């Protein structure tokens, strides 16, 4: 069974940094593209970043470009998001999401439960 478990969230001051992790199990991690998607309290979903299986391509939303860095360690079946220069509007639940491998379109077939990041002084 596929499991994605995020960790690393918490309370951080504006301008601070945080590193999120996502531990994957139940599938061959290095075959799959992975993503971070966030959801501000009471708001909609916002795609944050993607990384391909072989690290070939990395993409970011404009709202986080230059501040966030996505990475993965296929040997540890883990996905990461390094978040720097955090702002109040980065406050959200951050979900790790797997992209379906066989589809013609990129869609998310499994999601973690999320980890809450709160940016506040």
Partner 1 sequence: NFMLTQPHSVSESPGKTVTISCTRSSGSIASNYVQWYQQRPGSPPTTVIYEDSQRPSGVPDRFSGSIDSSSNSASLTISRLKTEDEADYFCQSYDSTSKVFGGGTKLTVL
Least CB distance to partner 1 at residue 14 (A): 25
**Residue 64 Rama label (left phi>0; alpha psi -120 to 50; beta):** alpha
Contact window for partner 1 (CB under 8 A) among 10-18, 23-31, 45-53, 74-82: 45-53
The size of the interface with partner 1 (CB under 8 A), counted in residues, is 23
Choosing from 5, 21, 27, 47, the residue that interacts with partner 1 (CB under 8 A) is: 47
The contacts of residue 85 (CB under 8 Å, 6+ apart) are 15, 17, 67
Is 114 near partner 1 (CB under 8 A)? yes
Least CB distance to partner 1 at residue 94 (A): 11
Q: Spell out where the chain has E strands.
A: 3-7, 10-12, 18-25, 34-39, 45-51, 58-60, 68-73, 78-83, 92-99, 108-111, 115-119
Least CB distance to partner 1 at residue 16 (A): 26
Is 111 near partner 1 (CB under 8 A)? yes
Choosing from 34, 72, 92, 112, the residue that interacts with partner 1 (CB under 8 A) is: 112
């Amino acid at each position: 069974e596929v499991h994605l478990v995020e960790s690393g969230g918490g309370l951080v001051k504006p301008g601070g940094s945080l590193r999120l992790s996502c531990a994957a199990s139940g599938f061959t991690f290095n075959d799959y593209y992975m993503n971070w998607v966030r959801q501000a309290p009471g708001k909609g979903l916002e795609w944050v970043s993607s990384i391909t299986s072989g690290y070939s391509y990395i993409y970011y939303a404009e709202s986080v470009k230059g501040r966030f860095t996505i990475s993965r360690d296929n040997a540890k079946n883990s996905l990461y998001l390094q978040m720097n220069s955090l702002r109040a509007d980065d406050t959200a639940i951050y979900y790790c999401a797997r992209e379906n491998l066989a589809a013609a379109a990129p869609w998310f077939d499994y999601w973690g439960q999320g980890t809450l990041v709160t940016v506040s002084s």
